[in-house]
Chain A
Amino acid sequence: MRIDGAAVDAAPRPGQCLRTFLREQGRTGVKKGCDAGDCGACTVLLDGDPVHSCIVPAHRAVGSEVVTVAGLGTPDDPHPAQQAFADAAGFQCGFCTAGMVCTAAALGLPAAEAPEPAELDRLFKGNLCRCTGYRSVRDALAGRRNVETAVAGESFGRPVAAPAALRVVTGREAYTLDEPEPPGMLHVAVLGSPHPHARITRIDVAAARAAPGVHLVLTYRDVPATPYSTGRHQDRNDDPDDTLMLDPVLRFRGQRVAVVVAETLRQARRALRLVDVEYEVLPAVLDPEAARAPGAPLVHGDKDPVLARIADPGRNVVAVVREEYPVPGAVDAALAVSAATVEGEWSTARVNHAALETHGARAWVADDGTLTVRTSSQVPFLVRDELARLLALDPAAVRVVVGRVGGGFGGKQELLVEDVVALAALRTGRAVQWELTREEQFTVVPCRHPMRVRVRAGAGADGVLTALAIDVLSDTGAYGNHAPGVLFHGVHESMAVYRVPAKRVDAEAVYTNNLPSGAFRGYGLGQVIFAIESALDELAARLGLDPVELRRRNVVRPGDPFVVGSLVQDDLDYGSYGLDQCLDLVDEALRRGAAESRDGAAEGGWARGATDGGGRAAPVGWSEGRGVALAMIATVPPRGHYSNARVSADADGGFTVDVGTAEFGNGTTTVHVQLAADALGVPPDRVRVRQSDTGTSGYDTGAYGSAGSVVAGKAVAQAAARLREHLDGGDGVRSAEGSHDGSPRSVAFNVQGFRVAVNRATGEVRVLQSVHAADAGVVINPEQLRGQIEGGVAQALGSALQEQVQLHDGEVMTRAFRHYRVPQLVDVPPTEVLFADTVDTTGPRGAKSMSEAPYNPVAPALANAITDATGVRPHAIPMQKDTLWRLLNGVGRSSA
């Protein structure tokens, strides 16, 4: 076989696929998104034909010519397809990019004669991208340029390219498992529980220990008994200590029963089958409402509420909010005299993050004795601290290194694989790797919390709100990682954005024997906002008031206190305010789009290649409607988020930024380069960023709560400004530090609008127009911000229309991308992105964070548009064709 032009003598093993064979030959530009043919990340050219190398039997490629992304071009001499993805900023995390580039190269794209849009949809249906929402991918395929080269000192506000762009598009950027294997590396395989609730009564691993190649077998008897939470926060007390590395009690299907560490993955898998386990099957509770009813099986009934920080283990309740403002009874009293009231119940499904890079980590003990863990994480410092605690080590003796992360979306704010590889490395003295399969990503990695939200709201005849109450039930599954945080955050800005004299919040997060839930983009807000924004739309209809107008009359304005179920008295403030502008921008755009579609002016439409998001007309016989929803979000997580950065002048005239936050496609590296370059007065290409390594950078809480730009960014800007002073002063100091503590915090706003067409016969929803307005303060990098918003809208469209982790008796049925519908290129309409003009007083140079927020208003805006079109209101997402069809045709159970 010849690979990237070089002859290779090695022979594949029987049954080996081409993907792993290529990676073993060092061609780590070839990625694994699914290992099942579904995602396209592993695309290579086999004798010129593009193939998914994970499903090509390697023995067939013997004697063939294989070209991987790295063989197509180099950063200095990129292939035209690679150049096109760099120029268009056609990636975020970049994990899909190798496959995109190889597919494009095989098709000769970008080409002078572009394929018909429908043909492009077909050709790229096998290339999934979770980050971008595909607009920038379409731009790359069409050869459109979206980035520019910045002038020294003037990169702020310009569409500067990601510093890693050419390395990403040529397959040179090392993701978590892309560095050369440490010598003698062992592999991990894990036996999962076959029951949703059971106790191990006997476990015999003698045969597994004796199996060929096996170095270590771990059961609950062999691991530290320190309880912890997989969810990681700045304050570790935010999450309940309800988890053990290996536990004799199994609380969901797939939970770790035994761990085998062997020389090859196959040996590890084979040894797993030799583990002999007897289970006492316990009654399971799978419904969150049933879970808190008297007599329900208790998931963590054995825990001490204070020590474990569980609100009420005797009722399966892990966290509670119960508050009424200004006094108890205020809401009932107000509703009784309101001109119009609404009451309803909404629910959201389980959603998988589907970051294209699965979780995976390697650990080894370095020569100086430091336990070193290379992992795919948003929070390297938090992982280091908790690992040290679990393994009873000094944090200084643990180093966590994070390379470029292939997508996170909250899913990597957890400690899921690092504990196992770290312990195994300590026990065996060897390097150990655990790479999750895509199936494990679906079956054991935490998902988005499904919620059931009841809303009661009232208004006077003037459309001014009189009362707003929510009752939230959140299913955290078997473990409480992020359960309190998601619950508290979910009810927070969603309620606080409205000025209402009477408010009430009743909210509980409960344990069940389902797959655990965890942090997911938006952190609870999306679920609650879906309900509130739907209810308010209903209220506007009852009052005969335009829904946008209802919102204008009731949203908070600068100076208003933030009220949830009580008055919020902390460091949250109006650093700037652009919600009014966002509402106006979306309202105007929708009116323009409707007018254009009536005039037939926008004949093209996005289906035929137009990408402005405007003006497509509904097909004949379909119902048309429009809908709007809004969202507010705090720009930084509460109660402290810390970052310490250092900027140094290098001997070669360049500068190095050391910063602890991780890059997972959120674009913080670009922002940090821009901030540092401008402060130093140099072009961005003179600044390099060394990040997310606890061994080289100062402490950083991590990349969650959209903190990468505003918290770490401020620390970087400060360090760079201080260095500039030293350099200008000529005092010989070549390095300076900066820090930020994440306070005070501001609020950012998002408004989404849709025009849709609905086919009553099939339940199909077609987006005619999508427009999103954001108040992100001063825009640091318009292309990147647009990408974040488009990606957020696309991910939200997925969960609003087509994605759902389906469970049956606690077992996940949707275990592969072919059954779990991550949006393909064809599924995502373009979204017109508009920015409010504001300057924030707290963020770096007037900017606000914006990476989680765009997700939040999408589902309710879509539901509101569907209601406007059909007169029937969806009360659950996803609004799949089949469920919507049932609703529109009065078939079966309506979810209201």
Chain B
Amino acid sequence: MDLDVDSVRTARTRADLALAPGERFLAGGTFLYSEPLPPGVTGLVDLLGLGWEPWTIDGGGLRVSATCTVEEVRAGLGALGARSGPYRGLGIAQPCADALLLSFKVAHTATVGGNLSLALPAGAMVSLFAALGASVLVWAPGGGARVESLTSFVTGPGETTLADGEVLREVRVPASALGARTAFRKIALTPLGRSSAVVTGLRAEETARLVLTASVPRPVPLEVAPGDHAALDRALDAVTEWFDDPHGAPDWRAAVTRGLAHEVLEELA
């Protein structure tokens, strides 16, 4: 929809990222243009002019720019993960992209950075990258940067540790995760609806690392020994806060999350 702003400027360099009062970052715009802006926002700074490489992969791991689109995750990373081999961990890229309610047409412009910054419980890019043990690189205004694990970056529904003027620059996935086995399960109130519960997981050497999203207000990482379903039950028992919104009652979400988590653990045995 039309946004009531006075200016849109396209950032070309890092210096352009210094926000004037009332300015806000614009990535794909698929969320920003879908609701009226809060009062006080008067300008947008378009990040897509920075021309960041969507993603790069090397011995050090995978780096995904904040401006990489969901479609590039699905097609690019998804294709790498489709084969068994050094990138099989990315096998959950495609189902995670598909777990978003947004259609393939919206996925052309929706970005990873926008998804992580929005930090919705149903943010499937969180489900994907948290399972891969990713961290995020955040640019501070006026120079400087910080790195933080994704699971601590998202602090609640719609809440992150991003301070005013901070930019999410990229997501970093360690090389070890790329070759690991991963698994994905989702349930929604309708077959392709907004996620009610998503469980993703990665099989490390000694442990299975599961991440709960969508059914909880912020991503919940769980680590249990492979095949130890009793331990998983205990870990789930300790989760007490279940998300409540029009996409499913909390008690149901708790129950189906448990079912999905056991399936993921089973798959990662």
Contact = CB atoms under 8 A, between A and B. Distances in A.
Interface of A: 13-17, 19-20, 35-38, 40, 43, 49-52, 54-57, 59-60, 103, 121-127, 265-266, 269-270, 273, 437, 761-763, 801-802, 804, 806, 813-814, 816, 818-821, 823-824, 826-827, 880-883, 885-886, 889, 891-892
Given A15-B2, A126-B103, A885-B255, A802 B190 contact: yes
B231 to A, nearest CB: 21
B82 interface: no
Given A51-B109, A127-B103, A16 B252 contact: no
Nearest to A121: B192
A284 B33 CA distance: 35
B26 interface: yes
Interface stretch (B14-22, B171-179, B199-207, B243-251): B243-251
Given A14-B7, A761-B256, 18 more contacts: A15-B4, A17-B1, A35-B1, A36-B34, A40-B103, A52-B105, A55-B109, A56-B109, A57-B44, A265-B2, A802-B189, A820-B246, A821-B189, A880-B189, A882-B248, A885-B256, A886-B249, A889-B255
B118 interface: no
Please report whether the interface of chain A is mostly helix, strand, loop or mixed according to DSSP.
loop
Interface in B96-120: 98, 101-106, 108-109
B72 interface: no
A36 B44 CA distance: 18
Given A15-B44, A266-B4, A762 B187 contact: yes
Given A57-B8, A266-B4, A763-B252, A17 B246 contact: no
Interface string B19-62: 00000001001100111000100011010100000000000000
Nearest to B28: A55
Contacts of B85: none
A491 to B, nearest CB: 31
Contacts of A60: 46, 48
A885 B248 CA distance: 11
Given A57-B29, A762-B259, A51 B105 contact: yes
A14 B6 contact: yes
14 contacts: A15-B4, A15-B44, A16-B2, A20-B1, A35-B34, A55-B30, A57-B44, A59-B46, A103-B105, A266-B2, A819-B247, A824-B193, A881-B196, A882-B251
A886 B252 contact: yes
B194 interface: yes
A15 B8 contact: yes
A9 to B, nearest CB: 19
Given A15-B3, A17-B1, A56-B29, A821 B193 contact: yes
B39 A273 contact: yes
B14 to A, nearest CB: 21
Contacts of A437: 1
Given A60-B48, A821-B190, A892-B251, A14 B108 contact: no
A55 B33 contact: yes
Contacts of A121: 191-192
Nearest to B44: A15
B12 to A, nearest CB: 14
Contacts of B35: 36
Contacts, number: 156
A721 B33 CA distance: 54
A126 B255 contact: no
B145 interface: no
Nearest to B49: A60
A113 B35 CA distance: 39
Contact of B33 (A37, A49, A265, A826): A37
Contacts of A123: 103-104
Contacts of B239: none
Interface size bracket, B side: 35 or more
Contact of B256 (A13, A38, A762): A762
B192 A826 contact: yes
B269 interface: no
B2 A818 contact: no
B246 A806 contact: yes
A262 to B, nearest CB: 13
A265 B1 CA distance: 12
B185 to A, nearest CB: 11
B249 A17 contact: no
Given A20-B2, A55-B33, A270-B4, A882 B189 contact: yes
Contacts of A882: 189, 196, 248-249, 251-253
A43 B33 CA distance: 15
A55 B106 contact: yes
A204 B177 CA distance: 62
Contacts of B196: 881-882
B192 A122 contact: yes
A881 B189 contact: yes
Contacts of B193: 802, 821, 824
A59 B8 contact: yes
With a 10 A CB-CB cut-off, give which of A14, A823, A883 has the most chain B CB atoms. Answer: A14
A12 B26 CA distance: 17
Contacts of B251: 882, 886, 891-892
Nearest to B122: A818
Contacts of B10: 59
Contacts of B247: 819
B161 to A, nearest CB: 26
Contacts of B187: 762, 881
B235 interface: no
With a 10 A CB-CB cut-off, give which of A15, A36, A60, A103 has the most chain B CB atoms. Answer: A15
B5 interface: yes
A-B residue pairs, 5 tightest by C-beta:
A126-B103, A15-B3, A882-B252, A15-B5, A35-B1
Given A49-B108, A882-B189, A813 B246 contact: yes
Contacts of B8: 14-15, 57, 59
Given A827-B190, A882-B252, A818 B26 contact: no
A55 B33 CA distance: 5
A891 B2 CA distance: 45
A127 B104 CA distance: 11
Interface string B227-269: 0000000000000000001111101110110010000000000
Interface string B192-225: 1110100000000000000000000000000000
